Chains A and B, each alone.
Chain A
Amino acid sequence: MRILVTVKFTPDLQSNRSFSDGTVIRTADDGSMNELDENAVEAALQLVEAAGEGEVYALTVGGPDAVAAVRKALQLGANHAIHVSDGAAAGSDVFGTAAVLAAAIRKVHDEAPLDLVITGMAALDGLTSMLPTALAAELDWAQLTLASSLEVADGQATIVRNLPDAAETVTAPLPAVVSVTDELNKPRYPNFKLIMAARKAEVATWSLADLGVEPMSVGAGAARTTVVDASERPARADQKIVTDKGQGGAELAAFLIEKGLA
């Protein structure tokens, strides 16, 4: 079982994030791997453990800080880490990012075939959840997205995805792109031995040239969308907090009535 997990470096959700020139400011101090990618790494580790053999690759694309995301995957138990780092990829939209990731996945797949690519359901910074679909389209592999259960047997992967109107069972031959929800599993904590090993582990660093990706085809210049303005939302004005001493409910009702909400 050979599985590649795509991971994303995202800012810590508790930290203050900001925009500059239309891109998110991310720093190594307050970020790591996108939390929902932990479920993807966990799913890959469990499948390899159940198969009794196999390898897990962690792949990310991003600036120098992004290496923190694949190091986190190594700490959790991934065997190999790849960091695609190239200034020309900066500012890519979801389609550019998918093209770069797909090129790196093909490189790994050509060395020895992969069974699955697993991703988190969304990145908690952008949360568009478009990447898994874009990646499946780019690779021309099956798309098994938003999995809340995942089984692999006899060269087929089968998921259940819970949409608001129905639970769908979807199956496909390998290789497939699977995105997993946080309902699928409970990610493990890194153990001390793996943390120490991850520190020393080698991370392969690839450029766009290594992947045969034309620099002009990705990056900010090729992006179909551009952030033209970003501003921090003002804090809620005229905030009122009362302590209930037997009148809290009445005050709450009065507030709603005054606002025309009750």
Chain B
Amino acid sequence: MSNVTIAVLIEQRDGAVARPSLEALTLARTLGTPVAVWLGVDPSADAMAQLAEYGAAEVRVANIGAESRYPAKAAAAIAAATEDARLLLVVSTFLNKEVVTRLAVTTGAGVVVDAAGVEFVDGEVEAFQTVFAATWNVRTRISGGKAIVGIRPNTTTASATDVPGAASIVQVSVELPATRETITAVEPVVAVEGVPLSEAPVVVSGGRGTGGDYALVTEFAELLGGAVGASRDATDEGWISHQHMIGQTGTTVTPALYVACGISGAVHHRGGMQASGTIVAINMDPDAPIFEICDFGVVGSLFDVLPQAIEAVKAHRAL
């Protein structure tokens, strides 16, 4: 299928390529010939080099500026850039799910979002997901025509191609549709320092058991190179900002390692983290539901367990 065009919508962060898009390019290389779709001003030389390194020979640029915040307008730009693509991969974010819905309405494409992977089977696109709070694996076939798949971060390991070439820019012109709604203000969120939660390879989360003290949770997260998460309880208490909330209505994470500290594991929380690689839980209550889904659990106080674990990891690294 290597002559099949696989378009990848690139997520940007301050002009740089976000890591989940490198994962998507890596996945696209296994399916066909990747082309990158870039909404905004021309990518920098660094970004171009990186896109080429991950297999995109062509970068299709549609500079629609801030209009890309409108799902219907972003969809029109992507449609213009992907006319020849059999499959479009996007990172499964809330905004992208709206964008691809608009795109599917206008192009008739079939869509699967929140997927963990995708492959061709007998020439048809099949995507796999975990559903029902990650208790079931589901494989969905997208019949005929165009396919769109939203991929969750951390589901493919990003790797550069062995034979990187040079990538060229192709400008795409697009006529933007009018929308009935108007965005009247955009207030940037001050990004949490370090890796974004949804992309972090390690997440250490604190819940009610922290009593609002995130010092140890943060220290452990930093030690492991991860991000800090929280349960709904903790964000509702105002202990930590909503940006950190992990769960079905907050951020869904699929890190290689998830450490739940003082989190009971209510079903809404589990739905946002249950597909993680290795799950570790620390909780005072031996009956906490989080212990049903963990690989390693410690029944005890996080205020005793975390300091000892931090010292032990540091001691190991000093060897």
Contact = CB atoms under 8 A, between A and B. Distances in A.
B31 interface: no
Interface in A168-213: 168-173, 176, 181-183
Contacts of B97: 128-130, 133
Interface string A201-239: 000000000000000000000011111111111001011
B183 A168 contact: yes
30 contacts: A13-B267, A13-B268, A17-B136, A125-B132, A134-B105, A137-B72, A163-B94, A164-B243, A166-B186, A166-B189, A167-B187, A168-B185, A169-B183, A170-B182, A227-B140, A229-B138, A231-B136, A233-B130, A236-B295, A240-B296, A241-B298, A242-B297, A244-B304, A244-B305, A249-B304, A249-B305, A249-B307, A249-B310, A252-B282, A256-B313
B309 A250 contact: yes
B137 A230 contact: yes
Given A173-B180, A250-B308, A230 B111 contact: no
Contacts of B295: 236, 238-240
B109 interface: yes
B111 A252 contact: no
Interface string B6-30: 0000000000000000000000000
Nearest to B92: A128
Given A172-B181, A253-B313, A243 B300 contact: yes
Contacts of A236: 279, 293-295
A115 to B, nearest CB: 14
A95 B105 contact: yes
Chain A interface helix/strand/loop/mixed: mixed
A94 interface: yes
Contacts of B202: 261
Given A225-B143, A248-B305, A261 B256 contact: yes
A-B residue pairs, 7 tightest by C-beta: A249-B308, A244-B300, A224-B110, A253-B312, A142-B180, A172-B181, A249-B309
A160 to B, nearest CB: 9
| A36, A95, A238: most-surrounded residue (chain B CB, <10 A) | A95
A162 interface: yes
Contact of B138 (A19, A36, A246): A19
Given A143-B181, A169-B185, A124 B248 contact: yes
A233 B134 contact: yes
Interface in B160-219: 179-189, 191, 196, 198, 202
B113 A128 contact: yes
A255 B108 CA distance: 49
B103 to A, nearest CB: 10
A121 interface: yes
Interface residues of B, number: 90
Interface residues of A, number: 80
B110 A225 contact: yes
B49 interface: no
A31 to B, nearest CB: 12
A124 B135 CA distance: 13
Contacts of B271: 13, 124, 127
Contact of A257 (B105, B280, B313): B313
Contacts of A247: 308
Given A168-B69, A170-B183, A252 B280 contact: yes
Contact of A224 (B142, B185, B298): B142
A170 B184 contact: yes
B274 to A, nearest CB: 9
Contacts of A20: none
Contact of A165 (B112, B145, B182, B188): B188
Interface in B90-121: 93-95, 97-98, 100-102, 104-105, 108-114
A242 B278 contact: no
Contacts of A255: 280, 296
B86 interface: no
A126 interface: yes
Contact of B278 (A124, A138, A228, A259): A259
Given A253-B312, A261-B278, A224 B300 contact: no
Given A166-B188, A236-B295, A241-B291, A262 B181 contact: no
